[in-house]
Structure 1
């Protein structure tokens, strides 16, 4: 079937679609039976997703092409699609579910997931049949897991990239989870209503009623939507900047920009809604530029490993990065719960204490800035700059041709 990664996409496409449909279906079981069913199907869904997504990420980032400019382009296209999907889910999914189910969300979810599972399976099969792995290990290459792990831990760019990946997703988990508390407990509802009211009236006049009647929920939805739209704009500029200046330098520069623009502004702006939304738009733009670069840098680390050791280790490098990603999300979620508890958050209260409200403000500003700043500091020691990118690409191309 060709390659090490493509076959996994083929093998998991249909099972992933089937299990996704089952996980979002509601069988006519008793309560305990439903709990067991949910645990089993969700566990299978996570396992199949990992078995599919890891090869997919390695395929798109590491083995379709050895040209670093083309990798930048592939990664940018991939994450533009991701942001469009995220925007679609956040803005349109709930009304589609309610419409499909005639007001019954459970029925609507089953219907919508059936179509999404079918479409997703077809797209994965198209991916398998229309791609080819061009960067493959030499036929004589043989190495043990022990040797691969030894190579990894001697690979300083890999260690740095793994740590940065973990730190990025710690921040994303903290920030993403704390937004709802920020809008519910900190943002002034009257000011928010006054600010977004004209926009909601305009959207309603053209038939767009996706944000609901609650001003806080509507404001939260518009806040996220604005960030995502400008992330897409930023992603669109990512390739040109990376091709000209190198991934590391662009990543570091815009990491610093969005870290200070966003986290510092959110801390200082209090309840100035127009500036709060403006900071989210700037954050989306600056952060969008960095999104494709992280995954392209992981592919560069695989090239660096091959360049140094003369052995290709794409699979284990991408696998380790996925561990860092999941670890970051887990640590970030745990920190979110811990910090909320340390500030005395009580879900049963209609009005939180002043110290709790301060904590929610810190959770979307100062605390998430810390992992980002640590990541920026580490990138100063990441040696794969533009000059080295060109050198690695040229020397590996010469080796492969010979």
Structure 2
């Protein structure tokens, strides 16, 4: 076990965070646009899009992640256990992202097959890259304070990726494609693939693995699985992670339908016109001429900016009060502002934006804490069993992420289809039935609030509070020193 300096330089924290920025150029695109891409650009029926995202996502969650986690934990190289995975998947992940959002001219059946294959490859490579990347946070340092700091850097980077995808991506797609969404998204994804690959390579070259298990801590896969099933904090965090990503996928994937089918266009245009006029006056025409896409981008921008501000408070709150209590409080308050959307009429644009801003701030506080808590669960397992299996613990959490993403995305397509949504493709403009507006409103309010509230309830049973955090860190540090 490396017992040297566990402090991390700013350069390494930034380098590590770029890996999540790169991964989230893919992940945030899946959350925000996958259902929309399949129904409005690729031309699949809502029910078919729902089936593909659900089945492929469940296969990826329960199949790819456990296997990759077990193999990563048993990887031995001169670069460590997890860094080689980041290196060797950087280029393939970028290529897979581009292929998954391409629109080849196949028959309808051919399109479904192509979508299923490319989405499967993308999720396999995403797991092969992001699971070891996430596990790397558990072995960069054994210092829980530094781990909180790394998580804050990491999730500021996540917010930048989310900001680009949710604020600028739709207007850019419309602009570079001259109205052809298929051409626009292929062009944008090409650039994202190149940029993301370079960022992942920087992560590989700037990071170091410091927490290295001794030979006495090596374990069999059977022992790892037994440890997992007896690890109550892990079971709780797996369930919480699943529900949180169901909400994120539902909420993130529904806003584009919400603005296109529920928000009053005239009221939206009036509300955002001072902002767009200001940007246009200084030669920064980011949002184009379409008020719905501009409103969608600015709405997301307000929430993301406040999430970044919320993240800056995360470490100090977590250090003072403990991760669990801060995570629970911030998640609950942020959920209140999600529920409120069900009460807003289509013309109440100002209060919609205000609720999004407040939701973003409180959810931002919780964002870095989730992954820091999962790293703590790996420490808890080592503390309890004297065996460390970082990647398989993170792989189980990635199961929750993938299942949550898949279920949430499938629910978006399924629910909007249930309310009568008619799929389009290319540059088609279709008049939707009035019931679609109701479905869109519920998809950004009541439906996504339910998994968040369940997660809040589960956290009352998570026993790694501030007192136990300190105890685990102190005792593990002593063991590692002795070893």
**TM-score, length basis structure 2:** 0.75
* 1:352 equivalent in alignment to 2:428: no
Question: Residues 1-400 of structure 1: matches in 2 within 5 Å?
Answer: 1-17=78-94, 19-20=96-97, 43-60=120-137, 62-93=138-169, 116-260=192-336, 262-270=337-345, 271-346=347-422, 350-353=431-434, 355-400=435-480
The answer as to whether partners of 2:175 and 2:288 remain within 8 angstroms in 1 is no
The 3-state SS of whatever aligns with 1:63 is coil
The answer as to whether partners of 2:218 and 2:388 remain within 8 angstroms in 1 is no
RMSD: 2.9
Pair 1:276–1:323, CA change in 2 (3 A): same
1:48 & 1:286 partners in 2: Cα distance?
A: 32
The 3-state SS of whatever aligns with 1:140 is helix
**TM-score, length basis structure 1:** 0.89
Q: Cα deviation per residue 1:191-211 (whole Å; 9 max; x = unaligned)?
A: 222211222222211222222
Corresponding residue pairs, total? 398
Pair 1:160–1:93, CA change in 2 (3 A): same
The answer as to whether partners of 2:422 and 2:432 remain within 8 angstroms in 1 is no
Considering Cα pairs closer than 8 Å and 6+ residues apart, tell me whether 1 or 2 has the greater RCO.
2
Unaligned segments of structure 2, at least 5 residues: 1-77, 425-429
Q: Cα deviation per residue 1:83-126 (whole Å; 9 max; x = unaligned)?
A: 11221234444666788789987777666655544443333233
Pair 1:48–1:102, CA change in 2 (3 A): same
Q: Cα deviation per residue 1:247-294 (whole Å; 9 max; x = unaligned)?
A: 10100011111111x123212232321111000000111111111110
Pair 1:181–1:301, CA change in 2 (3 A): same
1:258 & 1:379 partners in 2: Cα distance?
A: 15
Unaligned segments of structure 1, at least 5 residues: none
The answer as to whether partners of 2:83 and 2:204 remain within 8 angstroms in 1 is yes
Deviation at 1:241, TM superposition (A): 1.0
Pair 1:340–1:116, CA change in 2 (3 A): closer
The answer as to whether partners of 2:328 and 2:459 remain within 8 angstroms in 1 is yes
Deviation at 1:49, TM superposition (A): 2.3
